[in-house]
């Protein structure tokens, strides 16, 4: 077996669309081998293999799936009855029966030498949230419109894992690329090779997964997807597995991290470390959903899930086998986030140990849930009450699926709900949750009336919300931090009674800024407005941080007379400033940002008059350049 190679002209554009970077001859993969890309798996291959003999089961049992629109091979399967074919879910998850043809023969490049048949029906396992459960449940079945040709015959599925041999004579078959030459494509021919069963995973994280490891340079890679793994029993040949792919936890030698942030994983098919779904674990599902009996070595007995377990402790949560449930998805998300930050060699021991998981989650104070990469996934918040949770952040996911009352009686330092289509604050306020800081920015909220129930709020972010009436904020007298940037706030009057320490303002509708009442204000940020008049600074004696980017400010003389003895950070980025005269009086200034100003661009010569080399060191350093 050699490295996976690709035809650049044919594949590069589609691979990049799927998150795959082509780095000839080796691909780099974005998230678990980009397992959701039918293109990538369409090029899976048995590399370094050989043609099967007439007696080999692959000759009469292994079939190819080709695209109806162009007759290109994209996956492999195996015959389990006269009309039923076993394959992988990721091969068919976006396919309809009319999209797929089945080829019976040795080489899809010579269709005339084989037989092509149409598909009557197909079905994949657990289509919803399947990227969350991968590599588990990566199985599908296909029913032919007519019986398979006489040249092919079905083989039984090995029903029980106890029947698996301790042998290095596991046979793999597939129609993928067999070339060892970089850049050469030789896909479409049926090849076989041998490997050995290294480990069988069946726990609350992985559902009946076979890990094969064989000689370097031999094994399945990318077209072989859905293809069979065979063993020879006392009664003859049997199908034990369905080609799956790779996983950052279970196949760390074949799937490695890179230093490329855009394409963080790299696949090396040459290593020969492959995952297969144990076919016997899915036999019941195949027969029940198809209504057809398939060949098997004995009656199927393995259960799909066990949802009877308790959920009272972190360990019991970890041990639950309710794959794909909102609770299971949440735990999977948290563990994946941890694995992404740890030494890859230690990931498997952590991921499959509920004792280690319990120790980690017991110390976890921050949880981040995003729908950006798993749009179809659903999550449950209820298990979070088992943690010592302080901060919860949810972004880019429909909030309607969450029940915040299940978090009671957690006391949150911060709750962040960004871009979650929140329209009614009762979702939060009709609970007994204690929240110190609430960020509901970028949501279509029109009324703030419900905030009256959160009188102990210390921080509130309403940025980019369409709120019109801000008067309710007067009642939130505990507020210390407030973000009203990109809102319709016309003036600071509705909040002038608040003893704020940190304030964000900014929108073209803001025409009046009066800070006379903010005697405790330590941090002020103005943005997205044109506001040249800085006279409001005369009433900010304890101000430590001031950010005024791109406001049109061109006169800094206010700093000569305004008493700002504690100001440490000043951001004047993007302003048309031609003189820094006045800043020399800010004796405690430590940070000065002038990016994009005429002074920083050297469009205005620095002279003692416009750039004094006295005062704070940061000013002296800038004027001395």
Q: Which two tokens stand for residue 498?
A: 């608040």
Tens digit of each residue's pLDDT (9 = 90 or more) over 548-574: 999 999 999 999 999 899 999 999 999
Q: How confident is the model at residue 176 (pLDDT cuts 50, 70, 90)?
A: low
Q: Name the domain count of the chain.
A: 1
Instruction: Judge whether residue 531 has pLDDT over 60.
Output: yes
Task: Tell me whether residue 231 is in a domain.
Answer: yes
Token pair listed for 180? 């060892």
Would 220 be classed as within a structural domain?
Answer: yes
- Under the banding of pLDDT at 50, 70 and 90, the label for residue 10 is very low
Residue 208 lies in a domain: yes
Higher-scoring residue by pLDDT: 209, 111 = 209
Confidence of residue 511 (pLDDT cuts 50, 70, 90): confident
- β-pairing, 228-233 with 170-174? antiparallel
Q: What is the pLDDT of residue 219?
A: 57
Residue 377, φ and ψ in degrees, nearest 5: -75, 145
Distance CA 149, CA 153 (A): 8
Max CA-CA distance within the chain? Answer: 97
Place of tokens 């019941």: 284
- Domain assignment of residue 479, yes or no: no
Mean pLDDT, residues 145-155 taken together: 97
| pLDDT score recorded for residue 432 | 85
**Ramachandran quadrant class, 83 (left: phi over 0; alpha: psi -120 to 50; beta: rest):** alpha
Confidence of residue 182 (pLDDT cuts 50, 70, 90): very low
Query: Do residues 597 and 569 make contact, with C-beta atoms less than 8 angstroms apart?
Result: no
Residue 47 near residue 222, CB atoms below 8 Å: no
User: Across residues 594-613, what is the average pLDDT?
Assistant: 93
Average pLDDT over residues 504-520: 86
If one compares 569 and 21, the residue with the highest pLDDT of the two is 569
Helix (H, G, I), strand (E, B) or coil at 511: coil
For residue 308, the model assigns a pLDDT of: 58
Please check the confidence at residue 189 and state whether its pLDDT lies above 90: no
**The pLDDT of residue 221:** 59
Tell me, what's the pLDDT at 517? 87
**Order of strands across the sheet with 209-213?**
191-195, 170-174, 228-233, 236-245, 273-278, 209-213, 197-201
pLDDT digits (tens, 9 = 90+) for 330-344: 999 999 999 988 988
Q: Give me the half-sphere count of Cα atoms (radius 13 Å) on the Cβ side of residue 378.
A: 11
pLDDT exceeding 90 applies to what percent of the chain?
Answer: 61
Helices (runs of H) and strands (runs of E) counted in the chain: 13, 30
**Per-residue pLDDT band at 373 (split at 50, 70, 90):** low
CA distances from 188 to 81, 225, 606 (A): 23, 13, 70
What ranges make up the beta strands (E) of 71-208?
73-79, 84-87, 100-104, 115-124, 140-144, 170-174, 191-195, 197-201
- Average pLDDT of the residues in 536-550: 93
Where does the pLDDT of residue 222 fall: very low under 50, low under 70, confident under 90, or very high at 90 and above? low
Considering only residues 405 and 35, tell me which one the structure prediction assigns the higher pLDDT: 405
Question: Does pTM surpass 0.85?
Answer: no
> At 539, is the pLDDT very low, low, confident or very high (cuts 50, 70, 90)?
confident
Q: What is the pLDDT of residues 265-303, one digit of tens each?
A: 787 777 778 899 999 999 999 999 999 999 999 999 887
For residue 34, give its domain range.
Answer: 8-49+155-282
Mean pLDDT, range 572-599, rounded to an integer: 95
22-28 average pLDDT score: 27
Whether 48 shows a pLDDT value over 90: the answer reads: no
- Token pair of 73 as six digits: 């091979």
pLDDT above 90 for 459: yes
Please check whether residue 111 lies inside any domain of the structure. no
In this prediction, residue 375 has a pLDDT band, given cuts at 50, 70 and 90, of: low
| Least confident among 96-110, 308-322, 468-482 | 308-322
Residue 193 is predicted with a pLDDT of: 86
Q: Domain holding 226: CATH number? A: 2.40.10.10
Provide, rounded to the nearest whole percent, the portion of the chain with pLDDT above 70.
Answer: 87
Residue scoring higher pLDDT (528 or 388): 388
Determine, yes or no, domain membership for 562. Answer: no
Q: What is the pLDDT of residues 376-423, one digit of tens each?
A: 788 999 999 999 999 999 999 988 889 888 888 788 999 999 999 999
Average pLDDT over residues 293-314: 81
Asked whether residue 22 is assigned to any structural domain, the reply reads yes
At 87, the pLDDT band (50, 70, 90 cuts) reads very high
Mean pLDDT of the chain: 85
Predicted confidence band of residue 605 (pLDDT cuts 50, 70, 90): very high
Best CA proximity match to 142, nearest among 155, 156, 125, 123: 123
Tell me what pLDDT residue 18 has: 32
- Per-residue pLDDT, averaged over 67-91, amounts to 95
Instruction: Give tens-digit pLDDT for 95-145.
Output: 999 999 999 998 878 888 899 999 999 999 986 667 889 999 999 999 999
CA distance 225 to 213: 17
In this prediction, residues 458-471 reach a mean pLDDT of 96
Q: Which residues, at least 6 apart from 529, have a Cβ–Cβ distance to it below 8 Å? A: 505, 506, 507, 508, 510, 551
Given a cut of 70, whether residue 594 has pLDDT beyond it is yes
**Is residue 175 situated within a structural domain?**
yes
Q: What is the mean pLDDT of residues 70-87?
A: 95
Residue 214 is predicted with a pLDDT of 78
């Amino acid at each position: 077996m050699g490295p996976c190679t690709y035809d650049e002209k044919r594949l590069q554009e589609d691979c990049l669309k799927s998150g795959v970077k082509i780095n000839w001859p080796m691909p780099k993969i974005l998230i678990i081998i980009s397992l959701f890309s039918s293109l990538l798996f369409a090029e899976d291959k048995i590399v370094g293999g050989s043609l099967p003999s007439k007696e080999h089961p692959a000759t009469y049992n292994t079939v190819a799936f080709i695209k109806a629109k162009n007759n290109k091979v994209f996956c492999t399967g195996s015959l389990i009855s006269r009309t039923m074919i076993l394959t992988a879910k990721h091969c068919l998850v976006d396919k309809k029966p009319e999209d797929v043809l089945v080829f019976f023969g040795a080489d899809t490049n010579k269709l005339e030498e084989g037989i092509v048949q149409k598909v009557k029906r197909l079905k994949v396992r657990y289509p919803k949230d399947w990227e969350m459960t991968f590599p588990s449940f990566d199985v599908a079945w296909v029913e032919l419109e007519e019986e398979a040709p006489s040249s092919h015959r079905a083989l039984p599925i090995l029903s029980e894992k106890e029947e698996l041999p301790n042998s290095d004579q596991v046979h793999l078959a597939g129609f993928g690329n067999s070339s060892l030459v970089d850049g050469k494509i030789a896909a479409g021919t049926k090849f076989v090779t041998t490997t050995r069963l290294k480990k069988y995973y069946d726990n609350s994280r992985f559902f009946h997964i076979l890990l094969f490891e064989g000689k370097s340079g031999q094994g399945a890679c990318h077209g072989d997807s859905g293809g069979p793994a065979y063993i020879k029993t006392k009664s003859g040949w049997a199908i034990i597995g369905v080609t799956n792919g790779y996983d950052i936890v279970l196949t760390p030698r074949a799937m490695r991290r890179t230093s490329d942030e855009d394409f963080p994983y790299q696949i090396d098919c040459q290593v020969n470390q492959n995952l297969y779904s144990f076919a016997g674990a899915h036999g019941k599902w195949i027969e029940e959903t198809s209504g057809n009996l398939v060949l098997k070595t004995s009656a199927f007995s393995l259960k799909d899930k066990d949802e009877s377990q308790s959920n009272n402790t972190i360990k019991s949560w970890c041990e639950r086998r309710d794959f794909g449930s909102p609770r299971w998805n949440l735990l999977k998300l948290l563990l994946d986030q941890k694995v992404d930050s740890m030494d890859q060699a230690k990931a498997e021991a952590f991921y499959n140990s509920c004792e280690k998981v319990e120790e980690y989650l017991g110390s976890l104070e921050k949880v981040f849930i995003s729908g950006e990469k798993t749009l179809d996934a659903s999550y449950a918040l209820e298990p979070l009450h088992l943690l010592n949770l302080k901060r919860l952040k949810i972004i880019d996911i429909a909030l309607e699926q969450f029940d915040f009352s299940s978090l009671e009686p957690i006391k949150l330092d911060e709750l962040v709900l960004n871009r979650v289509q929140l329209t009614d604050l009762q979702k939060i306020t009709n609970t007994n949750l204690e929240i110190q800081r609430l960020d509901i920015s970028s949501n279509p909220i029109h009324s703030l009336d419900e905030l009256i129930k959160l009188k102990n709020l210390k921080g509130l972010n309403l940025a980019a919300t369409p709120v019109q009436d801000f008067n309710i904020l007067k009642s939130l007298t505990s507020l210390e931090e407030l973000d009203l940037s990109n809102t319709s706030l016309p003036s600071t009057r509705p909040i002038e009674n608040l003893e704020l320490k940190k304030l964000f303002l900014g929108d073209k509708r803001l025409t009046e800024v009066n800070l006379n009442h903010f005697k405790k204000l330590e941090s002020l940020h103005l943005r997205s407005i044109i506001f040249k008049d800085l006279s409001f600074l005369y009433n900010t004696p304890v101000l430590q941080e001031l950010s005024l980017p791109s406001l049109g400010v061109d006169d800094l003389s206010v700093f000569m007379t305004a008493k700002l003895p504690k100001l440490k950070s000043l951001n004047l980025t993007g302003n048309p400033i031609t003189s820094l005269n006045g800043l020399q009086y800010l004796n405690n200034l430590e940070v000065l940002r002038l990016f994009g100003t005429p002074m920083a661009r050297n469009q205005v010569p620095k002279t003692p008059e416009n750039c004094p080399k006295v005062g704070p060191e940061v000013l002296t350093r800038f004027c001395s350049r």
